[in-house]
Amino acid sequence: MQRANSRSVTVDLTYGNDYFGQLGPFEVELGWWSSVDGVVTRATELAGVPVLVARLIDGHSEDPGHGGLVRYHAEAIRRPTALNSRPLDGETAALLAPDPLRAAWATPEGVREALAWAEAELAAVGRPTAAPARQIRTWNLSGLFRLPTATGTGAWLKTTTPAFNAREGEVIALLGGVDPSLVPTVLAADPARGRLLLDHVPGEDCWSPSAATVADVVPRLVAAQATLADRRAALAGLRDRTPGTLLAQLRALLDRLPSVTDMTPEELGRLRAFAAENLPGLLDRLAACGLPETLVHGDFHPGNWRSDGATSVVVDYADACLGHPALDGLRPRAYLTPEAWQHHARVWANAWRQHAPGSDPHRALDLAEPLYHLSYALRYQEFLDHIEPSERPYHEGDPAAELRAVLACAQPS
């Protein structure tokens, strides 16, 4: 499917307890629903006052999460004097009503509190803000804001939900203790509220990384993971996605699948057979490859690498866990050409052979593929278990898609 490069947006505007009707519809470049920079810009123009997007209310598209018709709730920073407040109709009142699973930053009060925290922390380290924050992204997994500072170097505020995300500041500290150049600089962290304040990382996201970037980033992550594998006690706070735990978690998920996915009884039967008959032996063969369980990034695709041509930094550790490093080794494949993937796999395997002499990283990549898809099925279900109904279109079919990929891996070639 060719993805749309825009979306049609409507914004429901509030200020405190007052409702000011809808702004739009208007077109916004970039089809991704979570990208709200353009939404904020246009809504601010129409409202006559600065606004911030609280959350997605509704979305309709053939490609969920992208393009189509999208509706947001936005909060005005000041009272919009050019607009008149009005009563809420019943449907809109229901859409704007509180929800127990709503992310803290997806409410007007929550986004204001997070920004106030970031501004206070920047002032405390001698880098007060020089202009209002620019809202870049908001969805069920995170909020992202860029804050200009008086020192000229910007900072980034990231908000996540602690209930199902790693404590990113602590993960960065673990990796940074081995290789400080691999990770961004943390300016402040509030893990209990899922807030992280980061120094700006210069460069561009490496969606199409050069061979040189791969040869720089991948061995450095592997080296850090190999070192941390020997410090198991330091990794105790990470979510457990080790191979043996994945097997237990699959068995627990199987009992829920009829009610949470559209998988057929035949597919469910094949999954149960795979869990009982195939997966235990696969785990033994994977362990024999000789790679250690360690800190895993969890979403090590090249879009989470940033490079300015001289240095490369890995960002976004919300999915970090304790697991098998082949899960990170496999992650870039979906984002690379076949030739680039072969180069990446060689670099990754050579790095692990250096740090784990006698190991067989290439075989580990082959064997770990069902576990890779299983880990993402569990992660996507974790998202769905913790997000409110309006956010479910982002991930609704993902657990079943990944479990079907597990079954495809289990087919004899």
| Residues 261-271: tens digit of each pLDDT | 889 999 999 99
pTM of the model: 0.95
In the 3-class helix/strand/coil scheme, how is 233-294 assigned residue by residue? Answer: HHHCCCEEECHHHHHHHHHHHHCCHHHHCCCCHHHHHHHHHHHHHHHHHHHHHHHCCCCCCE
Write out the two tokens for 65.
Answer: 């999460």
Q: Between residues 261 and 161, which one has the greater pLDDT?
A: 161
Q: Indicate whether 53 pLDDT > 90.
A: yes
Average pLDDT over residues 172-198: 97
CA 361 – CA 368 distance, rounded (Å): 10
Q: How large is the average pLDDT for residues 373-390?
A: 95
Beta carbons within 8 Å of 277's beta carbon, 6+ residues apart: none
**413: pLDDT confidence band, cut at 50, 70 and 90?**
very low
CA distances (Å), origin 24, targets 12, 15, 36, 163, 207: 9, 17, 15, 35, 33
What is the residue extent of each domain of the chain? 6-97, 106-199, 204-410
Range name among 128-137, 169-178, 247-256 with the lowest pLDDT average: 247-256
323-356 pLDDT tens trace: 999 999 999 999 999 999 999 999 999 999 999 9
Neighbours of 260 (CB within 10 A): 14
* pLDDT given at position 364: 98
Q: What's the confidence (pLDDT) of residue 40?
A: 98
* Architecture field, domain 204-410: Alpha-Beta Complex (3.90)
Residue 310 has pLDDT above 70, yes or no: yes
Higher pLDDT, 349 or 5: 349
The secondary element (H helix, E strand) that includes residue 295 is strand 294-296
Arithmetic mean of pLDDT over the chain: 95
Q: What is the pLDDT of residue 152?
A: 87
Residue-wise pLDDT for 348-372, tens only, equals 999 999 999 999 999 999 999 999 9
CATH class of 106-199: alpha beta
CA distance 380 to 127: 37
Mean pLDDT of 189-206: 96
Mean pLDDT computed over 162-174: 97
Burial-class residue 26 by CB neighbours within 10 Å (0-12, 13-18, 19+): middle
Which tens digit of pLDDT belongs to each residue from 263-304? 999 999 999 999 999 999 999 999 999 999 999 999 999 999
Topology match between the domains 106-199 and 204-410? no
